[in-house]
Homo-oligomer: A and B are copies of this chain.
């Protein structure tokens, strides 16, 4: 009990990795055990993610399933998949037995239908088996798909002393006791208690007299994003999950919500950058191509659209070649403004911050875009006038720029609001989607207005 660890200082160095690889190669199980026993399972997972499959399997087989089950949960999904493929159904079941029901269900759901059945059949503990099977039935994006069955539950009729006695039993299964949930005879959730309340109360008091009836809960079918919003808003560390009849089914803890929030943020960020699917820098070139190529293709089609527009205006503008030289500027500004306004709306929608009517939003964005557009256009007017010496050309380009910016802002504001109303994730409206459509509209408007002003 003397040595202290500061996990913040764990750094996966090349040296450490070589050392581990050397110990594996020389079958030095004793030293390897000694080395790894000092690490947190999350750190061991980080090491295994860097080893090849054969080496990773060596370590997995070396350590006991209590440790390896936690390590598996922390490993990169792709690597975990490979490891699981190399384990028998019985071995996976042994790992599963060590995990909480929510983690167990997550692991099993990654297996093929056929292997799922084989693994479940191998789970010895009947209660654990039944609970995992129940969890597997819920949608992955619902509260049911996120919750664990492990919780501490007391009946309103118990006394504090009886409660403490029984909790000692239940608590062994529950890693962290956030709240003690109070149910009535029909197993319906009627309140909560903290361990603190229980410790502070007198032994002979009844639970019915001390519990707090004001308990937040979510329905088992609620979407995980809504659960995350409720937990973040009310600063909850755990929330009970109930069905339509208020029967207590499970609980969701804040660490799972942290993961949901991170994944959500990453997905939105990638969509805004024109990347679909959950890819990482370390994924294969083929996986990355699948995530990136469709959006690039959209950009290509947009570029061809811009080409066709410019070709159409070719005749009118033989005199004004200079107009064509500004098309990348017009397209860039239309794209940038569109991305800015859509990003603000998408973020506002995610935070439930966007109130009021669509019309009032559009009017505000129009004023904002007009203000920005006029400032930028004034600058551009001076540049063209001074360098080209033609006030009417400068005027045509500048006025077009203002209109293009306003239209781009309106499209960027309208599209995510419209998608959201239709129940479609507005995040897909940011990035290449808005850039491409704004490129085309921008260039079209630009040539129309220039044609009008220059009278050709």
**Alpha-carbon gap, A75 to B24, bound state (A):** 56
Q: Are A213 and B302 in contact (CB under 8 A)?
A: no
Among B167, B327, B353, the residue within 8 A (CB) of A281 is B353
Q: Are B432 and A383 in contact (CB under 8 A)?
A: no
Q: Which residues of B contact A329 (CB under 8 A)?
A: 299-300, 302-304, 306-307
Q: What residue in chain B is nearest A310 (Cβ atoms)?
A: B325
Q: Are A332 and B303 in contact (CB under 8 A)?
A: yes
Q: Which residues of B contact A171 (CB under 8 A)?
A: 196, 199-200
Is A293 part of the binding interface, using a Cβ–Cβ cutoff of 8 Å?
Answer: yes
Q: Which residues of B contact A269 (CB under 8 A)?
A: 265, 268-269, 272, 343, 347
Q: What residue in chain B is nearest A275 (Cβ atoms)?
A: B340
Q: Are A326 and B307 in contact (CB under 8 A)?
A: yes
Is A279 part of the binding interface, using a Cβ–Cβ cutoff of 8 Å?
Answer: yes
Q: Which residues of B contact A419 (CB under 8 A)?
A: none
Complex interface bits, A195-232 against B, C-beta within 8 A gives 1, otherwise 0? 11001100000000001011111110010001000101
Is A324 part of the binding interface, using a Cβ–Cβ cutoff of 8 Å?
Answer: yes
Is A296 part of the binding interface, using a Cβ–Cβ cutoff of 8 Å?
Answer: yes
Complex interface bits, A299-315 against B, C-beta within 8 A gives 1, otherwise 0? 11011101100110010
Q: Which of A28-36, A78-86, A118-126, A368-376 contacts B (4 or more CB under 8 A)?
A: A368-376
Is A273 part of the binding interface, using a Cβ–Cβ cutoff of 8 Å?
Answer: yes
Complex interface bits, A157-192 against B, C-beta within 8 A gives 1, otherwise 0? 000000010011001100011000000000000110
**Residue among A218, A331, A348, A353 having the largest count of chain B Cβ atoms under 10 Å:** A331
Q: Which of A4-12, A55-63, A132-140 contacts B (4 or more CB under 8 A)?
A: A4-12
Is A3 part of the binding interface, using a Cβ–Cβ cutoff of 8 Å?
Answer: yes
Is A292 part of the binding interface, using a Cβ–Cβ cutoff of 8 Å?
Answer: yes
Q: What residue in chain B is nearest A376 (Cβ atoms)?
A: B300
Among B257, B321, B379, B436, the residue within 8 A (CB) of A300 is B379
Q: Are A288 and B336 in contact (CB under 8 A)?
A: no
Q: Which of A105-113, A233-241, A448-456 contacts B (4 or more CB under 8 A)?
A: A233-241
Q: Are A332 and B435 in contact (CB under 8 A)?
A: yes
Is A389 part of the binding interface, using a Cβ–Cβ cutoff of 8 Å?
Answer: no
**Alpha-carbon gap, A345 to B279, bound state (A):** 11
Q: Which residues of B contact A310 (CB under 8 A)?
A: 324-325, 328
Among B3, B259, B339, the residue within 8 A (CB) of A273 is B339
Q: Are B255 and A258 in contact (CB under 8 A)?
A: no
Is A391 part of the binding interface, using a Cβ–Cβ cutoff of 8 Å?
Answer: no
Is A330 part of the binding interface, using a Cβ–Cβ cutoff of 8 Å?
Answer: yes
Decide yes or no: A295 and B254 within 8 Å by CB, A269-B347, A280-B348, A348-B282 being known contacts. Answer: no
**Alpha-carbon gap, A329 to B335, bound state (A):** 13
Q: Are B333 and A303 in contact (CB under 8 A)?
A: yes
Q: Which residues of B contact A232 (CB under 8 A)?
A: 255, 258-259, 262
**Alpha-carbon gap, A235 to B43, bound state (A):** 12
Q: Are A331 and B331 in contact (CB under 8 A)?
A: yes
**Alpha-carbon gap, A293 to B215, bound state (A):** 47
Decide yes or no: A177 and B196 within 8 Å by CB, A235-B255, A254-B258, A368-B289 being known contacts. Answer: yes
Q: Which residues of B contact A7 (CB under 8 A)?
A: 216, 230, 234
Among B8, B361, B371, the residue within 8 A (CB) of A285 is B371
Q: Are B343 and A270 in contact (CB under 8 A)?
A: yes
Q: Are A199 and B168 in contact (CB under 8 A)?
A: yes
Q: What residue in chain B is nearest A265 (Cβ atoms)?
A: B265
Q: Which residues of B contact A200 (CB under 8 A)?
A: 168, 171-172
Among B304, B339, B364, the residue within 8 A (CB) of A274 is B339
Q: Which residues of B contact A196 (CB under 8 A)?
A: 171, 176-177, 195
Q: Which residues of B contact A324 (CB under 8 A)?
A: 310, 321, 324-325, 327
**Listed A/B pairs (9) with beta-carbon separation below 8 Å:** A6-B217, A177-B195, A265-B269, A281-B353, A285-B371, A296-B405, A299-B336, A311-B325, A335-B435
Closest 4 pairs between A and B when the two form their complex, measured CB to CB = A303-B329, A273-B343, A281-B348, A265-B265
A-B contact sample (7 more), CB < 8 A, given A237-B254, A280-B344, A327-B327:
A5-B214, A254-B255, A280-B351, A282-B353, A302-B332, A304-B383, A307-B329
